[in-house]
Amino acid sequence: MQTAQRVAIVTGGSGGIGRATAARLAADGMAVVVHYAHHRAPAEQVVQAITEAGGTAVADGGDIADEAAMTALFDRAQQRFGGLDVLVHTAGIMPLAPVEQLDLDVFDRVQRTNVRGTMVVDQLAARRLRSGGAIVNFSTSITRLQTPGYAAYAASKGAVEALTLILARELAGRDVTVNAVAPGPTATPLFFEGKPQQLIDQIAGANPFGRLGTPEDIAELVAFLAGPGRWINGQVLYANGGMA
């Protein structure tokens, strides 16, 4: 059992931003639990890459919105590593449709995963993180850009922002920071899904840097919030290259 090493859980750790974040936190010396929802193999690939680079990581899975599954995951992480210090919650879904055409079952699924899922893991982290810990949730720059088709997703992330800001204040005196990162368009499988190349090029061209963000761009900010950025608390940080 390890107690000196800081320990992080990265939900959605086999996805684009989650994968880059898990690798970055491991490079910073943390033991990382790479969470996956359904498919273990991609998470194991992340673990293998981290361990081959000299880091410490394990894969663990479960429905992010199921409190029993997530309680068991947190239990296993604590038993294996002796404590918990950081939660990075990247897991989420992003079905797109105009409000007029949106299937309400899809809307409910987005809210369950993105809002309830955040509540479940934040609640567990609030109860378990050691002094000096950090919770990093994920919102989106879409809440500022107001892009048509993203209503269900943006609504869920507005709720995540509210939860983040209130939890930061509820944890006063605990020495645990709570922030949200709100990426702009980022080159991940989730972003590319269903988009023609012309639209991708148009979105990239709207950024002052003339490109999409990369998962590593976002992981850099997460690592700061999870590590030395102790005076940043109760904030939503927009990581989009100046797009919004």
Active centre residues (catalytic) = 153
**Residue/partner pairs of 98-107 with CB below 8 Å, 24 or more apart:** 98/148, 98/149, 98/151, 99/151, 102/151, 102/152, 106/152, 107/152
Those residues whose C-beta lies under 8 Å from the C-beta of residue 82, and which sit 6 or more positions away, are: 1, 2, 3, 7
Show Cβ contacts of residue 114 under 8 Å, excluding neighbours closer than 6 positions.
92, 93, 153, 156, 157, 159, 160
What residues contact residue 197 under an 8 Å CB cut-off, 6+ apart? Answer: none
How far apart, in whole angstroms, are the C-alpha atoms of residue 119 and residue 160? Answer: 8
Vertex 175: Cα angle to 171 and 177 (nearest 5): 70
Which residue, 169, 157, 164, is CA-closest to 179? 164
For residue 200, the SS3 value is: helix
Which pair of structure tokens corresponds to residue 238? 């927009």
Q: In terms of C-beta density within 10 A (0-12 exposed, 13-18 middle, 19 or more buried), how is residue 126 classed?
A: middle
Q: Which two tokens stand for residue 168?
A: 């930061």
